[in-house]
Amino acid sequence: MNARDDAMAEAEAFATIIPPGFVIGAATAAFQVEGGVHDGGRELSVWDEFTHQSGRILGGANADVAADHFHRVGEDVALMADLGIDSYRFSFGWPRLQPGGSGSLNREGIAFYDRLLDELLAAGISPMATLFHWDTPVELRGSWLNRDTAGRFGDYAYQVGEVFGDRVDRWVTINEPATVMLNGYALGIHAPGTTLLFDAVPAGHHQLLGHGLAVQALRAASVRGEIGVTNVHSPVSAATSTDEDEAYAALFDIVHNRMFGDATLLGRYPTIPEEFAVALRPLVEVSPEDLAIIHQPLDFYGLNYYFPTRIAAGTGSSSSPDGEAPALSALPFHLEPWPEFARTGFGWPNAPEFLGVALAELASRYGEALPPVYITEGGVSLPDTVLLDADTGVARIADSARIDYLSAHLESALSATAPGGAASAVDLRGYYVWSLLDNFEWAAGYSQRFGLVHVNFTTLDRTPKQSFGWLRRVLEARS
Ligand code: FCB
């Protein structure tokens, strides 16, 4: 057997661990792939503004063109059909569908997503749509620091639900409100770029409120699909067992994980230790009415997992997992490295066993309150390696490290949730690879490639990577 046959045999063996009915998909987000930022009546989001400010994005990049998905949607759906995924997770661009963030929806924006949905359904691919993946319209002044944005989001959700409710199988209200609060408002490395540290907490609360209002709005619009939310969870541990390290690890767990999971699933914020009650006052003083809005019955819970976090007391370096963040050095704690794990292109620890831990934490924290779970994102950035195929002489993108990453993470998730596993109480329904395409990776610009499909950002040509061939074989071979 040659190397290619070996790889295909491995894919077939891997396929046997995938349970029948388990959904395998790929994910993208509007701002990261669409481009066409001035086309079809679209107006600007905070991310358009942010990317055009100097010094914000690595290499001075912006997403004006990105992967040009807006103009290549037909080609991209054909790639998905060729790959054979069960489901595609994408996001509706808020400034494309509702330019300015208020008023009725934009016909040309509707036409774009009509086409996407119709082509997906014709190809037998189930649509999972996110209502908000970070592209807040600039006109919503104060953005998520302003409570009114939650109401605006509810209004947008209702209208989007009315138009597309007949074709979307699964709705995600908000993607990773923790990242928006922490990177966008607290540390300033994502849009809108403020460095409010703990004063950013209202931006988290208002997104949660927006989530609750959006669930109510989608139900009022009688959408036929299931409704959930996507939170990013990073299992947190203290670097040592000193009281200080433990206390800051608990604090980080609250602002990164628990405040979002507890509010949406349990209808309360976590108990705030006395010493952090002032910093986290909005969580301590939250009104029961707000919590009741946030706490909506959900059909599923979306988990994004990338890496675990280790916390120690004392200031440390200003580099965050998502970029340089000088504001970090003003905090009394820091993130410690994970020397025991290999690192991804981004420098993130490659720690598949912690996906099982994240699922086990969901089971133990939320018990009966946890609905079925989809892993709505998981994936790895790697530098390009272009190889000439020995058999065919054709250039191909060799990313066997992505195959290893995806298979190890899927295996970790499936074994943790199998009978006898640490997360056996979790009803795990699917896994979405981040990402279908190489795309605009926020503060890292085009420097981090997560795609199953390579995108040449000059010609915009698409080339399926080796991992694409592997996944296609897995999907064909499973029972
Ligand atoms: C997640 C985001 C997604 C992508 C991946 C790498 O936090 O939801 O848009 O940037 O990280």
Say yes or no to pLDDT of 385 above 90.
no
- Cis-peptide into 352, omega within 30 deg: no
Say yes or no to pLDDT of 316 above 90.
no
3-state helix, strand and coil shares in percent for the chain, rounded to the nearest 5: 45, 15, 40
Q: How far is the CA of 23 from the centre of ligand 1 (A)?
A: 20
Quick one: average pLDDT of 321-339?
94
DSSP at 195: -
Residue 441: CB within 6 Å of ligand 1?
Answer: yes
- C-alpha 257/C-alpha 471 separation (Å) is 30
Say yes or no to pLDDT of 391 above 90.
no
Q: How far is the CA of 29 from the centre of ligand 1 (A)?
A: 9
Confidence of residue 90 (pLDDT cuts 50, 70, 90): very high
15-58 per-position pLDDT tens digit: 999 999 999 999 999 999 999 999 999 999 999 999 999 999 99
Residue 442: CB within 6 Å of ligand 1?
Answer: yes
- C-alpha 382/C-alpha 384 separation (Å) is 6
* Angle, CA 174 vertex, CA 218 and CA 194 arms, to 5°: 140
Confidence of residue 6 (pLDDT cuts 50, 70, 90): confident
- C-alpha 431/C-alpha 376 separation (Å) is 6
Q: What amino acid positions are annotated as catalytic residues?
A: 176, 377
- What does residue 375 show for φ and ψ, rounded to 5 degrees? -80, 105
Q: How far is the CA of 5 from the centre of ligand 1 (A)?
A: 33
The CATH number for 312's domain is 3.20.20.80
What is the Cα gyration radius of the chain? Answer: 21
Say yes or no to pLDDT of 2 above 80.
no
> What is the per-residue pLDDT for 386?
81
* Closest ligand 1 atom to Cα of 232: 7
Domain interval for residue 235: 3-477
Positive or negative: CA dihedral 356, 358, 360, 363: negative
> What is the per-residue pLDDT for 393?
81
With beta carbons less than 8 A apart as the criterion, state whether 228 and 170 touch: yes
Quick one: average pLDDT of 72-83?
98
Residue 377: CB within 6 Å of ligand 1?
Answer: yes
CA 218 to chain centroid: 21
* Closest ligand 1 atom to Cα of 450: 6
Per DSSP (E only), the strands in 356-459 are 373-378, 386-388, 395-397, 428-434, 453-455
Confidence of residue 355 (pLDDT cuts 50, 70, 90): very high
> What is the per-residue pLDDT for 176?
99
Instruction: Please state the domain count of the chain.
Output: 1
Classified as helix, coil or strand, 429 is strand
Nearest C-alpha neighbor of 330 from the set 364, 288, 279, 378: 279
Q: Indicate the top mutation candidate among 45, 176, 348, 432 to test ligand 1's pocket, ranked by most ligand atoms within 8 A of CB.
A: 176
CA 441 to chain centroid: 11
- Residue type (1 letter), 408: A
Residue 175: CB within 6 Å of ligand 1?
Answer: yes
Distances (CA, A) of 179 to 143, 183, 320, 338, 428: 15, 5, 12, 21, 23
> What is the per-residue pLDDT for 1?
58
How confident is the prediction for the chain on average, in pLDDT?
97
Say yes or no to pLDDT of 111 above 90.
yes
Total number of residues shown for the chain: 479
Say yes or no to pLDDT of 240 above 90.
yes
Quick one: average pLDDT of 89-115?
98
In the block, residue with structure tokens 């009966």: 368
Confidence of residue 454 (pLDDT cuts 50, 70, 90): very high
Quick one: average pLDDT of 394-422?
95
- C-alpha 233/C-alpha 306 separation (Å) is 8
Residue 176: CB within 6 Å of ligand 1?
Answer: yes
> What is the per-residue pLDDT for 395?
78
> What is the per-residue pLDDT for 344?
98
Q: How far is the CA of 121 from the centre of ligand 1 (A)?
A: 25
- C-alpha 20/C-alpha 17 separation (Å) is 9
Say yes or no to pLDDT of 389 above 80.
no
Q: How far is the CA of 305 from the centre of ligand 1 (A)?
A: 10
Residue 29: CB within 6 Å of ligand 1?
Answer: yes
Residue 46: CB within 6 Å of ligand 1?
Answer: no
The helix-helix angle for 353-366 and 259-266 (nearest 10°) equals 40
